A and B are shown apart, each in its own frame.
Chain A
Amino acid sequence: MSGKISDEVLKSRRKVLAGGVAMLGAPWVARFANAQAAVDIGPYQAAKVNWRQAEGEKLTVAVIPAGYFDALINEAPTFQALTGVEVRFEKVPPGQIRQKAILDLSSKTGTYATHAADPMYYDLYASNKWCDPIDGMLGDARLTDAAWFRNDDIIPAWRGANTVAGKPYGVPFDGETTVQIYRKDLYAAKGLKPAETLDDLVKNSAAIHDPNNRVWGGAMRGFAGAGQNMYIYPSIFRAFGGDWFKSGQLVLNSPEGVAALEWYVNLLTKYSPPAVRNWNWPDLADAFSQGTLGLYVDSNTSASVLNNPEKSKVIGKIGYARWPRGPSGKRVTSIWNWGFPVNAALSEKAKRATWLFITWATSAETQARTSFRSKGIKRLGINRLPQLRSQEFAAMVKDYGDNYLQATTESMANDADVQWRPRMPQWPAVGETMATAIQAALVGQKKPKEALDEAQGRVAQILKG
């Protein structure tokens, strides 16, 4: 969940402006012009499914305001030409999309045929039967041409994250992985290599830490939130050998948990700017792009921001590496994808239309058209390993910095961990409780052990209720 807006958007916008489109009319004119552009539906017709079986349906899809969804929205006329299904997108701010989706699902109003879903929410959707498992549709030859769609190409960790009790609930559309992002010039000056272990990472940070010259040694997301500090801490926790569940019970304050939190607090208090407690990924990327961070661990997709010539001062000085190993010997990365589930409250025909939309959006063809084959926004978070390893993709990211492609694909293929975060229907509350505890330890309000003990107590209450 981070960055790829970048220069292409700006360039294309400049073109529109240069074209002298009238000031106020511009947005509509631009969209209209897009819709009029000839669409090529040929490659999709290779699939042995009847694309027009749900013709006339109208779908609303909730997405977040993000370049990668803009790329999809730009391609939507192709889908309409292909299927005769009308699709409308509604952009919901990231902080509200979960709440709005739950409102819609729980009231069974069927407003959103599908929405950009947080993988941690599928347990909740499944246990309430708000969304249909998609294995039936995946296996139905009338709906899916398995040979054309090639579901197995989609990154397994992401598919795993969208699976509950063995049944898939959402098809990943876009995603990311977390990696080390460092300044290779600073590392070279000190003769450092990217850290192989968490200990090394701290040592590297100490070596390049030079706050007097506005270079801080290492940082991670410090902001409290299930998708912020609780997005980073689980990787450390698992690398320290932590297990979320002991004999079926959620345990937050295990010795590994405490050690992991101590490591995180230590790094951030010693080698991050004091403001890090309020920092989320865009802030980290902004700081790194201004040369004030020597290292941070965050999403690979930040690369587009870091390489945006409009903003960045560190282009050409960036290197990437997988997460270091923890005491357990494991490297654990985050698993994130925006997937599309099927709303259970839809009519049968609308479900088929929705499924056609999902397979269209997540197909290799659309993935390519919204990424390396796009003339506008080029997404980084492609959902298929073969495409990530393709020449075309490699050419697109060749200037992003040392080892970008390798670190990213290896991380996705090897470092993903199904037990990365505790999967359970109560995740929203559990995630927020943990986020609060982590921040309490970070700002020094509580000792790590104390903070986790308290979180444990609260979570026990939540699970009881």
Chain B
Amino acid sequence: MKARNLVLLAIAVLMMLVWTFPVLWGLVTSLKTEKDVLAYPPSVIFEPTLRNYADVFRGSQSIVPNLISSVIVSGLTTLLTMILAIPAAYALSRLDLPFRKGAGFYVLATQMLPPVGLVIPYFLILRRIGWTDTYQGLVLVYLTFALPFAIWLLVSYFEEIPREMEEAALLDRAGRWRALWHVILPQAKGGIAVTVIFVFLNSWNEFLFAVVLGGNNVRPVTVAMFNFISLEQTQWARLAAAAMAGMAPVIILGLMAQKHIVKGLTVGAVKGGGRR
């Protein structure tokens, strides 16, 4: 038993390392000078510097405007997605619509389409309505991906909530919307948190559409990151600092939502949340 635990622990540590090593390496790199970055063997002891961060946050290579750009795009995408996806997913999970199965397949199909094939049509459409390099343009395009995905994800969470729960609320004079708000949404909190994270993460990390449909006005951090991989040389230390800065909002969001995610997972497991 003890030996088994040790082995499990070892495996867990190893897996953690595989996960965290690149991030830690990036963090360490971001604190080095370029010379230390290239040193061989890799220097473990070095004088940490915050200069890379200073360069990334101010001066001509600042990515702050790009971080703001990313926050606007991802935030708007997430907000709009949730506003539209929650009622849609709720309806889909509760109504016996004849096309429900088809809708599920459609959602999956949109996720399977190679995005490269859509770049050009989207570019031409946005161009026609004059929305290239605008926030509304990029958000609109992201919505076309995020919305089906979010609905599909949320439906599965809503379906897990017994219908009787909202029937009780209806009898308790809540009405549809308040039943959704007071009874369904609090129980789907975990699923909503997971969906928010996924949608935000996907749009935060998106590059292909951002680079083609964006421009000077809308230039998310994924695109700006290339300022450090110029044609001349890769500025590893600054790139690492920029990557850390670009990762931070997502990590913060993850930490904020973690409680809800874990709760969302355990509520279902423990005693069915008092439903059974």
Contact = CB atoms under 8 A, between A and B. Distances in A.
> Does a CB–CB distance below 8 Å link A and B in the complex?
yes
B233 A305 contact: yes
Nearest to A291: B40
Interface of A: 1-5, 9, 13, 16-17, 21, 23-24, 26-27, 30, 60, 64-68, 70, 88-96, 99-100, 103, 107, 109, 111, 214, 282-283, 285-286, 289-290, 292, 301, 304-305, 308, 310-311, 313
24 contacts: A2-B232, A3-B231, A13-B60, A17-B59, A23-B58, A24-B57, A24-B64, A27-B59, A27-B64, A27-B65, A30-B60, A60-B215, A66-B231, A66-B232, A91-B226, A93-B211, A95-B226, A103-B123, A282-B234, A286-B38, A292-B40, A304-B232, A308-B34, A311-B38
Given A96-B211, A96-B212, A285 B233 contact: yes
B130 to A, nearest CB: 10
Given A93-B226, A310-B33, A70 B232 contact: no
A311 B124 CA distance: 44
B34 A310 contact: yes
Contacts of A109: 127
B120 interface: yes
A374 B108 CA distance: 55
A310 B226 contact: no
A232 B35 CA distance: 28
Contact of A21 (B39, B58, B123, B212): B58
Contact of B60 (A3, A68, A70, A88): A70
A3 B232 contact: yes
B230 A64 contact: yes
Nearest to B211: A96
B57 A2 contact: no
B: interface residue count bin: 35 or more
Contacts of A68: 232
Contacts of A90: 215-216
Contacts of A286: 38, 233-234
B127 to A, nearest CB: 5
A310 B35 contact: yes
Given A66-B230, A99-B212, A290-B40, 18 more contacts: A5-B233, A13-B61, A21-B58, A27-B65, A30-B59, A60-B215, A70-B60, A88-B216, A90-B216, A93-B223, A93-B229, A103-B123, A286-B38, A286-B233, A289-B38, A301-B232, A311-B35, A313-B35
Nearest to B132: A111
B3 to A, nearest CB: 39
Contacts of A94: 226, 230-231
A110 to B, nearest CB: 10
A87 to B, nearest CB: 12
B45 to A, nearest CB: 18
Given A3-B232, A5-B232, A91-B227, A103 B120 contact: yes
Contacts of A24: 57-58, 64
A290 B119 CA distance: 41
A2 B35 contact: no
A93 B66 CA distance: 14
A214 B41 CA distance: 11
B134 interface: no
B156 interface: no
A17 B230 contact: no
B35 A3 contact: no
A1 B229 CA distance: 13
B233 to A, nearest CB: 5
B55 interface: yes
Contacts of A100: 211-212
Nearest to B236: A286
Nearest to A34: B60
Contacts of A95: 226
A290 B58 CA distance: 29
Nearest to A338: B231
Select the residue from A68, A103, A214 with max chain B CB neighbours within 10 A: A103
B54 interface: yes
B136 interface: no
Contacts of A289: 38
Interface string B21-61: 00000000000011100111000000000000011011111
A461 B27 CA distance: 47
A64 B223 CA distance: 11
A196 B190 CA distance: 69
Contact of B232 (A99, A282, A290): A282
B230 A5 contact: yes
A292 B39 CA distance: 11
B92 to A, nearest CB: 36
A88 B233 CA distance: 25
B11 to A, nearest CB: 29
Given A66-B232, A100-B211, A17 B223 contact: no
**Ranked 10 nearest A-B pairs via Cβ:** A3-B232, A93-B226, A26-B58, A65-B227, A27-B62, A282-B233, A282-B234, A66-B231, A311-B34, A13-B59
